[in-house]
Amino acid sequence: MHQPHVVGAGMTRFAAHDRPLAELFGEAAVSALDDASLGTDAIEAFYLGNAMGGQIENASHLAPQLASHIGLAGIPCQRFEDACATSSNAFKHAVQAVESGRHDAVLVGGVERCTPETGLDTAEMTTQFATAMHELYEQPVGLSFPGVFGLLTDRHMHEYGTTEEQLAEVAVKNHFHGSLNPDAQHGREITVEEVLDSPVVASPFRLYDCCPFSDGASAVVVANESVAETARDQGADEPIAVQGVGHATDVVPIADKVDPGATQAARDAAEQAYDAAGIGPGDVDVVELHDCFTGAEILATEALGFFEAGEGGPAAAEGRTRLGGELPVNPSGGLKAKGHPIGATGTAQIVELVTQLRGAAGERQVEDAQVGLAHNLGGDTATTLVSVLEAGA
Amino acid sequence: MTDRDPQPDGGHPAGATDPTYAEWRQHLWEDQVLLGQRCHDCGHATAAPKAACAQCGSRSIERIDLPPEGEVYARTRIEIAPAEFDGPYTVALVDLGEARVLARLTGEREIGESVTLTDVYEGDLGPAPVFG
Ligand SMILES: [Zn+2]
């Protein structure tokens, strides 16, 4: 067994980009390779996350297309699709390939375009996203993705007394963090009043409870200990160890989940990742989690074991998850403020953790961050991946 | 008839649901009846028929009629709808006792309130149950 490390990381700014997928991904991939001080000759396989290029942009067979664009043609290339958890699943396979000794170094990343730059407006993109739901039991009802998490959050408010103000506090925090991240789509701070005054998208969520439509790309290089040493010798920054990746699924459709608000796949994936890393929730210093909607962040902080059931809302309102608090959550701004280009989101979480664990996050640096956790969820919470990274290991 | 259609004796090909997607739609549309399934091995019931039990994987499952009454489990008012729909409208998870179903909800309803299957929404993507 080898010890996988992330030896290089890169991403585009998340924003509305009038640029083709190849150019966006090329920017992230080249910066990841340069960050690793490695040439393309060191890369033995390429795993790509792209969820909807086939349906949004008439673009398929993207892995070899994008590999050719950046000088990687010839090696095994593969595209992954698992809704919003797409590139975390690609990352898992890269980690396993390195761990098992199958490959010494793998380039893994994701790219997606979801803004009106694609030619699709809000209603049309809402339809594209809804294709991740069950065609018989969910799509005909007219459920949207804000609606999926609206249902889960409505139930959480009923069971635990979580309030709209507490939801708004999550948005305010993540916009503050985003204001410190030059790669974030939303760099403007907002107030609780602005959130509560914004129009409803799907109750209880208002516009500012929802992540934006985004375009962007992210990439990392995963390598074994000997390539990590070579990269270090050639001038790369500190390699960051991948100590565990958990991956679990739950039943589709949402009506069939035993306790929908528990997000059981997140609990199962977290348990796997904690066990593999030999740690517990109390050992984590910094978290990047899937805050597609403010309520999703509250559910996730409870599912990952950071707070008791019903304590996620009060914890956010008390600043416990803010930079400077006991457990900073989404210092990048999260999906909420950094942005959410579906297939690029998972590896972008890894990019942020690597930056934090190297102590290179500037104004948004989490003090003494040694252990980082990423939580990336797909579809109606049916897919979740949890990854644990550690500095100095 | 293709080999993917239900067999003439009423049996279904391996990997199909009983009821089939077409039968589930037809019963809802024409008879306003929600079809479900119950597992012979673990007793799990569902309002979303599949080829095997979602809890234990058994293929020994029977078709059942679900009750037309239930309680609101969770709600969301959809203001920004997918392109095929005209918002706003309310979507809810309705607890039917043994199983939950995703449905349209009419009127202002609280979680825990009793509701009845009153109508079927006939959209471009197929029928959906309406509770009120
Ligand atoms: Zn069963």
Same-domain pairing of B122 and B89: yes
Q: Which residues 6+ apart lie within 8 Å of A333 measured at CB?
A: A174, A175, A177, A178, A179, A180, A181, A184, A186, A339
Could you tell me how many CB contacts below 8 A there are between chain A and chain B?
A: 121
Q: What is the pLDDT of residues A235-279, one digit of tens each?
A: 999 999 999 999 999 999 999 999 999 999 999 999 999 999 999
* Integer Cα distance of A217 and A228 in angstroms: 23
Residues A100 and A218 sit within 8 Å (Cβ to Cβ) = no
Averaged pLDDT for residues A368-374 = 98
Distance (Å, rounded) from C-alpha A223 to C-alpha A99? 9
- Residue B73 gets the label, from left (phi > 0), alpha (psi -120 to 50) or beta, of alpha
CB contact under 8 A, B111 and A139: no
Write the pLDDT tens digit of every residue in A70-116: 999 999 999 999 999 999 999 999 999 999 999 999 999 999 999 99
At residue A386's C-alpha, the angle toward residues A385 and A389, to 5°, is: 135
Instruction: Report phi then psi at A94, rounded to 5.
Output: -65, -45
From ligand 1's centre to the CA of B99, what distance in Å? Answer: 13
B69-120 pLDDT, tens digit each: 999 999 999 999 999 999 999 999 999 999 999 999 999 999 999 999 999 9
Q: Which of B17, B40, B66 is the last residue of a domain?
A: B66
Query: B24 with B82, same domain?
Result: no
Mean pLDDT of all residues in A194-207? 98
Same domain membership, residue B109 and residue B62: no
Residue B12's pLDDT band, with cuts at 50, 70 and 90, is confident
State whether B98 and B44 are in the same domain.
no
Confidence of residue B9 (pLDDT cuts 50, 70, 90): low
**How much distance in Å is there from the Cα of B43 to the middle of ligand 1?**
6
Tracing tokens 């009983």 back to the chain, one arrives at B18
Q: Where are the domains of chain A?
A: 5-118+214-240, 125-212+244-390
Helices (H), A326-382: 334-338, 345-357
Which chain A residue has its CA at the smallest distance from B17's CA? A136
- For testing the chain A interface, which of B27, B79, B104 should be mutated: the one with the most A CBs within 10 Å? B79
Which CA distances in Å does A251 have to A88, A147, A381? 20, 18, 9
Of all helices (H) and strands (E), which one includes residue A86?
Answer: helix A86-99
d(CA A29, CA A35): 10
Query: Closest partner residue to B48 among A144, A154, A255, by Cβ?
Result: A255
Test B48 with A253 for CB contact under 8 angstroms: yes
The answer, yes or no, to whether residue A329 has pLDDT greater than 50, is yes
Nearest CA in chain A to B88: A202
Question: What DSSP designation does A255 have?
Answer: G
In chain B, residues with a C-beta closer than 8 Å to the C-beta of A204 are 76
> For chain A, what's the residue count?
393
Are residue B28 and residue B50 in the same domain, yes or no?
Answer: yes
Look at the alpha carbons of A50, A54, A57, A59 in this order and tell me if their dihedral is positive or negative: positive
How many angstroms does the Cα of residue A136 sit away from the middle of ligand 1?
21
Query: Does the pLDDT at position B2 exceed 60?
Result: no
Co-location of B107 and B119 in the same domain: yes
Q: Which of B66, B81, B101 is the last residue of a domain?
A: B66
The CATH code of domain A125-212+244-390 reads 3.40.47.10
A123 and B83 within 8 Å at the Cβ level: the answer is yes
Question: What average pLDDT is seen over chain A?
Answer: 97
Report the share of chain A in percent with pLDDT over 90.
Answer: 99
Query: Token digits for A303?
Result: 């599912």
Q: What is the pLDDT of residue A269?
A: 98
In one-letter notation, the amino acid at residue A390 is E
Phi/psi of residue A102, each to 5°? -60, -45
Ligand 1 centroid vs B37 CA: distance in angstroms? 10
Residue B5 has pLDDT above 80, yes or no: no
Q: Which of B38, B66, B94 is the last residue of a domain?
A: B66
Biggest alpha carbon distance in chain A? 57
Structural class in CATH, domain A5-118+214-240: alpha beta
Indicate yes or no: CB of A122 within 8 angstroms of CB of B126. Answer: no
Domain count, chain B: 2
Which tokens sit at A173?
A: 């925090």
Burial class (CB in 10 A: 0-12, 13-18, 19+), A134: buried
- The residue range of the domain holding B126 is 69-131
Residue A84 is among the residues annotated as catalytic for this protein:
yes
Domain A5-118+214-240 identical in fold to domain A125-212+244-390:
yes
Instruction: Mark yes or no for CB contact B82/A199 under 8 Å.
Output: no
Same domain, B61 and B118: no
* Interhelix angle A21-35/A62-69, nearest 10 degrees: 60
